[in-house]
Amino acid sequence: MTRLFGTDGVRGLANKNLTAALALKLGAAAAQVLTKDRRSDERRPTAVIGRDPRASGEMLAAALSAGLAYAGVDVLRVGVLPTPGVAFLTKDYGAALGVVISASHNPMPDNGIKFFSAGGRKLPDSVEDEIEAAMAELSDQGPTGTGVGRIIEEAGDARQRYLAHLAESVTTDLSGIKVVVDAANGAASAVAPLAYEAAGAEVVAIFNQPDAYNINDNCGSTHIDKVQAAVLEHGADLGLAHDGDADRCLAVDAQGNVVDGDQIMAILAVGMKEDSDLRHNTLVATVMSNLGLKLAMQREGINMVETKVGDRYVLEELGRGGYSLGGEQSGHIVLPDFATTGDGTLSGLRIMARMASTGKSLAELASVMTVLPQVLINVPVSDKSAVLSDDAVVAAKTEAENELGDSGRVLLRPSGTEELFRVMVEAENKEQARKVAGRIAAVVAAV
């Protein structure tokens, strides 16, 4: 049986495989699992619900609210806010759980539902499995009378609470910095420009007019060319591009060059080390981070711990080791002293704060790391599990690693959602990376 929860909550095509009926059951089951230790006769537990602007979010929020209230949970609806904002408010309001309705960088017809436990933390697989099991055992009889949950529409101070939190997290004056912000017509359309302006930056906002249908539509972090062009047009010091739910941030320097998540981590890690804020002198990244990041950290005397792909694994390692910085190449940057999940707006503030405190341009700061050419080939396969143990694949990988030596890297891994096997090669030049990756991909395809 296929697992309902994926790598980041439950996602699907809204009103087809992600329906209001499913959302109602998810809400009721999540209430049962996530509030079982927070029930009392005096007070019903509370859930915070936020969403991105896509049209189906209204329907799914209504269904989730109904499921939660049916299970005896009060619902505080905070409207359109970034995913990290909902995580923060879950903790700030003292709620038993939080829910975000968003499909992140996916196109508008899709949507998703992800849960936070008390304190605004992502759920481990085991708890998601509990929720899925509870859905199959839901009673058709809920509490009655005063046991039924109440639904509070639009908590009036939610946005201001989140903005105040961002302002407290980064206190550096950003006056003199001109930034272009691409909000992807998403959840940060109002919040990100306000947060950057409040810190003193001059803001040019683009794609910040959501109409329920245009989220991620040829804009945002998956279409970085738009903010590149706008930076050059407006003569800005940098550009920042968010995704639909604003838990990630990619940057562009004044010349229009992309500064990806690896480079952002390098910039922040060096700054935090200088300020004695980089706990255990360690950065946490995934195996997909560019080899150039590891080489830069070695040169700067910073340790690097690698995890599986996925921000939840970065979060787990940050907690396990007590570290203070982690992230992904895609722009999920996690600063656990200030946020329980990746926060794109916070990342943008930290990048500009580093520019302001050093007086250096983003290009100068990013030069701490040299990005090695990287080639990724997705190979369709019939059995992902058989590839890594295949003798021919093992031999091809070993041969490639011997050829590349310390100046390159080979990573083979199955896709988490499709019948694909990913072949990633980094080398000193693009042509060598392409040649080696193609050679291994041909062997994988023959398995």
Is residue 437, in this structure, part of any structural domain at all?
A: yes
In this predicted structure, what is the pLDDT of residue 130? 96
Q: Is 125 annotated as a binding residue?
A: no
φ, ψ of residue 214 to 5 degrees: the values are: -105, 10
217 has binding-site annotation: no
Write down the pLDDT at residue 113.
97
Whether residues 416 and 306 fall in one domain: no
**Structure confidence at residue 43 (pLDDT):** 81
Task: Provide the residue-wise pLDDT of the chain in tens; the chain has 447 residues.
Answer: 678 998 789 999 999 999 999 999 999 999 999 998 766 656 899 999 999 999 999 999 999 999 999 999 999 999 999 999 999 999 999 999 999 999 999 999 999 999 999 999 999 999 999 999 999 989 888 888 988 999 998 767 999 999 999 999 999 999 999 999 999 999 999 999 999 999 999 999 999 999 999 999 999 999 999 999 999 999 999 999 999 999 999 999 999 999 999 999 999 999 999 999 999 999 999 999 999 999 999 999 999 999 988 888 999 999 999 999 999 999 999 999 999 999 999 999 999 999 999 999 999 999 999 999 999 999 998 888 888 889 999 999 999 999 998 889 999 988 766 778 999 999 989 999 999 999 999 999 988
Extract the tokens encoding 153: 């529409």
Find the catalytic residue in 65, 104, 324, 330.
104
Residues 26 and 168 in one domain: no
| Domain tally, the chain | 3
378 & 339 share domain:
no
329 plus 391 within the same structural domain: no
Edge to edge, the sheet with strand 333-334 lists 303-307, 282-286, 326-327, 333-334
CA 134 vs CA 1, 130, 138, 214: distances in Å: 16, 6, 6, 35
N-to-C CA span, the chain? 26
pLDDT of residue 384: 82
Annotated active-site residue 104? The verdict is yes
- Model pTM score: 0.92
Cα gap 313→292, rounded to integer Å = 21
Shared domain check, 100 and 173? no
Q: Are residues 120 and 176 in the same domain?
A: no
Residues 268 and 348 in one domain: yes
**334 DSSP β-pair partners:** 326
The CATH number of residue 389's host domain is 3.30.310.50
Q: Which of 345, 366, 387 is the last residue of a domain?
A: 366
Tell me how far apart the alpha carbons of residues 152 and 77 are, in angstroms, rounded to a whole number: 6
**In a domain? residue 252:** yes
Which of 366, 399, 421 is the C-terminal boundary of a domain? 366
Domain end residue (candidates: 127, 156, 185): 156
Residues 167 and 213 in one domain: yes
Say whether 104 counts as a known binding-site residue: yes
Query: Does a structural domain hold residue 37?
Result: yes
211 annotated as belonging to a binding site for a ligand: no
Q: Two tokens at 36?
A: 């079982």
Please state, in angstroms and rounded to a whole number, the distance separating the CA atoms of residues 430 and 373: 5
The answer to whether residues 116 and 197 belong to one domain is: no
- How much is the pLDDT for 42? 66
Do 28 and 171 share a domain, yes or no? no
Structural domain that includes position 46: 10-156
Instruction: Name the token pair of 110.
Output: 């899709």
4 domain residue, yes or no: no
Give CA 288 to chain center in angstroms.
Answer: 15
Q: Are residues 318 and 420 in the same domain?
A: no
CATH number, domain containing residue 80: 3.40.120.10
What pLDDT does 210 receive?
98
